[in-house]
């Protein structure tokens, strides 16, 4: 009987944990919200006061939307326009993840 209860508790915990992981933000989304959204906006539309002050282009701008992934990664690493470089602040993996997340706004 005790063994059955232990098995059920273990199963319940495993299912709960799996559900929580499924609802968690992706690494790219979390990094974007922490490092990028204040200027690029929640959906990449550059509607924030900081974006307007620095003349950040929205994701829908042809110059931005035509950039491929490698160009965006390079822009994040080295900076672009008034955007500071993040090569010393984010790992290569974080940069790639945040660019992948940003590119979802193009769809």
| Chain segment 48-102, per-residue pLDDT in tens | 999 999 999 999 999 999 999 999 999 999 999 999 999 999 999 999 999 999 9
Q: Which domain holds residue 80?
A: 25-106
Total of domains in the chain = 1
- Note the pTM of the prediction, 2 decimals: 0.74
- CATH for 42: 1.10.760.10
Q: Is residue 33 part of a domain?
A: yes
Q: φ and ψ at 83, to 5 degrees?
A: -75, 130
- Supply 51's token pair: 């974006």
Contact in structure between 39 and 56 (CB atoms under 8 Å): yes
Q: Is residue 90 part of a domain?
A: yes
Q: Is residue 99 part of a domain?
A: yes
Q: Is residue 64 part of a domain?
A: yes
Ordered DSSP codes for 62-95: HHHHT--HHHHHHHHHH-BTTBPP-TTTS-HHHH
- Whole-number pLDDT of residue 9: 45
- Whole-number pLDDT of residue 107: 83
Predicted confidence (pLDDT) at residue 33 exceeds the cutoff of 90: yes
């Amino acid at each position: 009987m005790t063994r059955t209860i232990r098995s059920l508790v273990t199963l319940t915990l495993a299912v709960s944990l799996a559900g929580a992981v499924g609802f968690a933000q992706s690494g790219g989304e979390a990094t974007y919200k922490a490092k990028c959204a204040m200027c690029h906006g929640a959906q990449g539309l550059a509607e924030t006061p900081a974006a307007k002050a620095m003349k950040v282009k929205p994701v829908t701008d042809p110059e931005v939307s035509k950039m491929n992934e490698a160009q965006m990664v390079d822009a994040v690493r080295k900076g672009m326009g008034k955007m500071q470089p993040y090569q010393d602040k984010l790992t290569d993996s974080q940069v790639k993840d945040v660019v992948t997340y940003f590119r979802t706004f193009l769809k």
